[in-house]
Amino acid sequence: MIYRLLYNLLIHLGLPLALLALYKPKKGKPGFGKRWAEHLGRAPATGQEAPLWIHAVSVGETLAISPFIRALKAEQPSLPILLTTTTRTGAEQAAKLGDLVVHRYAPLDYPWAVSAFLATFKPRALWVMETELWPNWLAACEARHLPVTILNARLSERSCQRYARFLGAFDALSRPLTHLLCQHQDDADRFHRLGIGRERLAVTGSIKFDIQFGDEVQARGRALRQQLGQDRPVWIAASTHQGEDEQVLAAFDRVLKVHPSALLILVPRHPERFARVAELCAPYGCVLRTAGSAVGESDKIYLGDTMGELPLMLAAADLAFVGGSLVKIGGHNLLEPAALGKPCLTGPAYFNFSDITRQLVAQGGAAVVADADALGDKVITLLGDAGARRQMGEQARAVVLRNQGALARTLSHCLAALEND
């Protein structure tokens, strides 16, 4: 109880800063419009009776959960689903599910906001995509006897050690969790080390492995490659962060000395950074995707300044570096390029995706580069060796295929939970 009191005191003191961070206008980042009050629990009712509440915080989680929702609705077509996201980009992705779900923005973790949300919607259960644990959400669900299931649950060693320092707080946080469907055995073992009983744990795999790109993505990727230059070397740096773009460009300087016709597709992680990154790239000759301009031989960078088009840009490239890993963000998921059969590169700070990365590296589908110089050298090597690229890409895709099936396992557990909880 003391932990929650302290937590609530701190978050209420920080409320102005939280609202400023969420609603401050940012160039290139869409706002929430009239729906901003939904974050405070003031969301319009849906007319659904006892919906299943599924939460996916942002666009990545919403992309991952969408095939699961489609499979769930195929099994339970009359099941009402309330899908919440925190971000606007997540909401835009949720809209692609059409009438399979009703979307609302999730309440911020203030007791009064959560209570208002639950009073309006009266959900039958809460399913959370990945380990998004909010104390007041969970306490409110426990008080109302709502089952809580974590899908695609993961817990890094770093986070496990942090929680271990405050076991009392973690016990209070985890007590309302009915089921944790873990991505890997390592995740389940870490949760167990923190005191969660094996009866609440299951290893279902990561549903992100069940990623499939249809013919349309491949066709659009081929068309983009034709536009960029079929015969020139093309590599992509995807989901880069502040402080990382400069390192990628330093690596590119090395690449250009050996492969002067090379083209870099650069895709920043956050849309509010598009303009700043475009300024960094201008000296190289930079074409913005939104501009729709032709890419000339003198243009060296193609800036992916759109949302939701990363797969087709990956499909157009010869190899992929995935960002958030040359800076201490923890990396991003290598599965999209791997599923497309692309050689995968990551920096050393990949701790948020350690299991996936280790599998890919062990099978020769990915490589870890220590810094910008090492990144440049690895790109130089791979761009100059089509056979090595082909083998590395095939190994990457084989890892993805070998791990598929998590969606079916997760669905099986969740359908059983609907019947038994």
Residue-wise pLDDT for 64-103, tens only, equals 899 999 999 999 999 999 999 998 878 888 998 999 999 9
**Residues 141 and 240 grouped into a single domain:** no
pLDDT in the model for residue 333 = 85
Residue 238 bridge partners (DSSP): 267, 322
**Residues 385 and 409 grouped into a single domain:** no
Whether 61 is a known active-site residue: answer yes
What is the pLDDT of the chain when averaged over all its residues?
92
pLDDT in the model for residue 32 = 82
Q: Residue 235 sits in a domain of what CATH number?
A: 3.40.50.2000
Q: What is the mean pLDDT of residues 196-202?
A: 96
Distance CA(236)–CA(212), nearest Å, equals 20
Q: Which residue has the higher pLDDT, 4 or 30?
A: 4
Residue-wise pLDDT for 384-415, tens only, equals 999 999 999 999 999 999 989 999 999 999 99
**Residues 289 and 371 grouped into a single domain:** yes
Residue-wise pLDDT for 266-277, tens only, equals 999 988 899 999
pLDDT in the model for residue 79 = 96
223 has pLDDT over 60: yes
Task: With respect to residue 247, please indicate whether it lies within any of the assigned structural domains.
Answer: yes
Q: Which residue has the higher pLDDT, 301 or 418?
A: 301
Task: With respect to residue 314, please indicate whether it lies within any of the assigned structural domains.
Answer: yes
**Residues 227 and 376 grouped into a single domain:** yes
**Residues 188 and 221 grouped into a single domain:** no
Task: With respect to residue 94, please indicate whether it lies within any of the assigned structural domains.
Answer: yes
* Range in 116-125, 182-191, 207-216, 369-378 the model is least confident about: 207-216
**Residues 245 and 377 grouped into a single domain:** yes
**Residues 181 and 236 grouped into a single domain:** no
Q: What is the mean pLDDT of residues 42-55?
A: 93
Q: Which amino acid is at 123?
A: P
**Residues 187 and 295 grouped into a single domain:** no
Task: With respect to residue 289, please indicate whether it lies within any of the assigned structural domains.
Answer: yes
**Residues 243 and 265 grouped into a single domain:** yes
Catalytic residue among 38, 49, 61, 132: 61
Task: With respect to residue 92, please indicate whether it lies within any of the assigned structural domains.
Answer: yes
Task: With respect to residue 14, please indicate whether it lies within any of the assigned structural domains.
Answer: no
Per-residue confidence at 31, pLDDT binned at 50, 70, 90? confident
- Structural domain including 328 reads 215-402
What are the residues whose beta carbons fall under 8 Å from the beta carbon of 143, sequence distance 6 or more?
Answer: none
Task: With respect to residue 6, please indicate whether it lies within any of the assigned structural domains.
Answer: no
Q: Residue 133 sits in a domain of what CATH number?
A: 3.40.50.11720
Task: With respect to residue 2, please indicate whether it lies within any of the assigned structural domains.
Answer: no
Residue with tokens 């209420």: 12
Q: Is 13 helix (H, G, I), strand (E, B) or coil?
A: helix
Q: Is 306 helix (H, G, I), strand (E, B) or coil?
A: coil
H or E stretch covering 93: helix 88-94
**Domain tally, the chain:** 2
**Residues 295 and 237 grouped into a single domain:** yes
**Residues 236 and 197 grouped into a single domain:** no
**Residues 177 and 292 grouped into a single domain:** no
263 has pLDDT over 90: yes
Residue 104 bridge partners (DSSP): 84
Token reading at 155: 């817990």
